[in-house]
Structure 1
Amino acid sequence: MSPPLFISMPGNEALAARLVVRSGGFLVPLDVHTFPDGEVRPRLMQDVAGHSIALVCTLDRPNEKFLPLVFTAAAARELGARKVGLVAPYLGYMRQDKRFHPGEALTSRTFAALISGAFDWLVTVDPHLHRTPSLAEIYSIPALALHAGPVLSEWVKANVPRPFFIGPDEESRQWVADVAKQCSAPFAILHKERRGDRTIGIAAGDLSLPDDVTPVLLDDIVSSGGTVIETIHLIKGLSRHAPIVLAIHGVFAKGAEQAIRDTGAALVTSNTIPGRAAAVEVDRLIASAIADIMR
């Protein structure tokens, strides 16, 4: 079997290069030309006929990334690629998994159908599965959801003395409980009331923190930052130690990352989305999954 070929969509070059090193594959140069009217034209700069292809594109800000991505996938298939898969460390459009108000689109299902129609397989990391039991529920292609818990716990063990994990809401329990168990550390789950896209209320109940622990606020996604900032203020009233914010995906709406840092909390994420906070590598998890799915 020929070695896998990787194609990096713009902005994903560093991760693609590391995956090539880990997998023993090769990187196919890609030129994405943008016309004056904003349309794009991807061009594969190497023959891909007969090869299995992995396109690397983390899908934060998916609106601007999606068309170049599917155009590239279609070109690879038309030019003779044997299989075309997608490595999307962060998978967007997972939040709208039900109609909260009449007339709303079920964007998670529609996006899944579009991805399933363009690719033969999908590898992602901790998608925001809340009311959807698994990716197989909405994706019709093989879709692997990897878990960052082991690498998060490794980072905590190496960097945080006596962690006490705190989840901002019940949705975070699955990640908080898993990492806390791997670190043999205590945890607590708070109660969140969402009053809008950027307005959050957090309640701690009767939570108290021992004096010698380091609070670690853990969630899967940090986007607007409202939940995190509200929880940081609450934790500061319970602990003399500045909290550490640990997230799998640092999506960060405009101004959110700096607003979190301005609270005095440390901020660490995995590298599913490149950025200043991305200190926890998920590369080996992804490389191993790619090797399995391409066998």
Structure 2
Amino acid sequence: MLFLQEQYEYLAAGFSDRCFYEVQQFENQELVVKLLDSVQGKKCIVIGSLTAPLEQSLTLLLLLHALIQGKASSVTLYAPYLGYQRQDLYNVGLSHGFVWADALLLSTGVCRVVTIEAHNYDQLLQATVPVLVQTSEQLFIHDMARYVSLGFTFVYPDAGAIKRSTWIYDFFPHVSYGFFLKKRNFQELTMHDFQGKIGKKVMVYDDILDSGQTLIQTCMALKLMGVEEIVIFVTHAFFHGVAWNDLWALGVKVLFCTNSTPPAHQINHERIHVKSITPLIKNIVDLTL
């Protein structure tokens, strides 16, 4: 049985056999999730995400819990963008997003989580709820191969991006690449000490475009190095604010992303090509239901 959170309704077109639920509220604004079909003994998948706003995350947790309480035989959360992975360090007196999220998911009884291109694999290895990570290889590899044939090499904004994209090296082992050392000081971001060897035409890969600052700083540094053509591949694109529009003036010809986030699904720009994650979801649905 397949359930979709409201923000992911645009993915419903790829699936004919889906189920529904209602979100209700008491007068004091407390939420209640009501299942409209019996799930007893059934395998269930929920497409949703622990992302802002807070009510969206709370609704997801209540839905997962309702499915378990309804005696579903198994419940899988398919979170295209999992959320709460951006905080890398554990500091005393500071909350830690993914530890918190993992504890909440565990409390619902969900059996496993599936996500695309995790931001921090090391965190996921410590998760209490099992997490399966899909790569965006199936969505990007054809276009990447076309640019490789045109002489493009790979660039990563930082060493973390390399760790998240070993599938690129596995598929293109003979294509040279390079990466920057990234330094963040409060709100100031700088790229320095480039490592590796690249040509005049490059593909930049990263997992997240939030406001676009990391990619802007990367492209500015590449322009100073004499790079003439830039193509960007990014898995999760939020397009917050307007700063990301500066990319076009920095030599970026085209940007590829997936529709793993509602803003990416809604974007309409001649230089932005959005790839559907439906094939990745279908892989999990076929294996689970």
TM-score tier by shorter-chain length is 0.7 to 0.9
Does residue 154 of structure 2 align to residue 169 of structure 1?
no
**Residue 112 of structure 1: how far off its partner (Å):** 0.7
Residues 209-255 of structure 1, C-alpha deviations (whole Å, 9 max, x = no match): 534xx311111122232211111112223345331221111134333
In the alignment, structure 1 segments of 5+ residues that lack a partner are none
**TM-score, normalised via structure 1 length:** 0.81
Contact residue 86 and residue 123 of structure 1 kept, 8 A: yes
Which SS does the other structure have where 1:254 is aligned?
Answer: coil
The number of residue pairs the alignment matches comes to: 278
Structure 2 partner of 1:287: 282
**Residue 177 of structure 1: how far off its partner (Å):** 5.0
Residues 113-133 of structure 1, C-alpha deviations (whole Å, 9 max, x = no match): 11122112211112112543x
Quote the sequence identity (%).
22
Structure 2 partner of 1:226: 213
Separation in 1 of the partners of 2:138 and 2:168? 7
Which SS does the other structure have where 1:138 is aligned?
Answer: coil
**What code does the residue aligned with 1:92 have?**
G
Distance 1:207 1:144, change over 3 A: closer
Taking only aligned residues, the RMSD between alpha carbons, in angstroms, comes to 2.8
Separation in 1 of the partners of 2:171 and 2:49? 27
Separation in 2 of the partners of 1:72 and 1:177? 34
**Residue 98 of structure 1: how far off its partner (Å):** 2.9
Structure 1 partner of 2:182: 192
Which SS does the other structure have where 2:94 is aligned?
Answer: coil
Task: Map 1:19-58 onto structure 2 (within 5 A).
Answer: 20=15, 26-33=17-24, 39-58=30-49
Distance 1:257 1:226, change over 3 A: closer
Task: Map 1:209-220 onto structure 2 (within 5 A).
Answer: 209-211=198-200, 214-220=201-207
Separation in 2 of the partners of 1:251 and 1:36? 33
Structure 2 partner of 1:10: 6
Which SS does the other structure have where 2:207 is aligned?
Answer: strand
Structure 2 partner of 1:269: 257
**Residue 41 of structure 1: how far off its partner (Å):** 3.5
**What code does the residue aligned with 2:219 have?**
I
**What code does the residue aligned with 2:182 have?**
K
**What code does the residue aligned with 1:90 have?**
Y
Structure 1 partner of 2:70: 79
Contact residue 88 and residue 123 of structure 1 kept, 8 A: yes
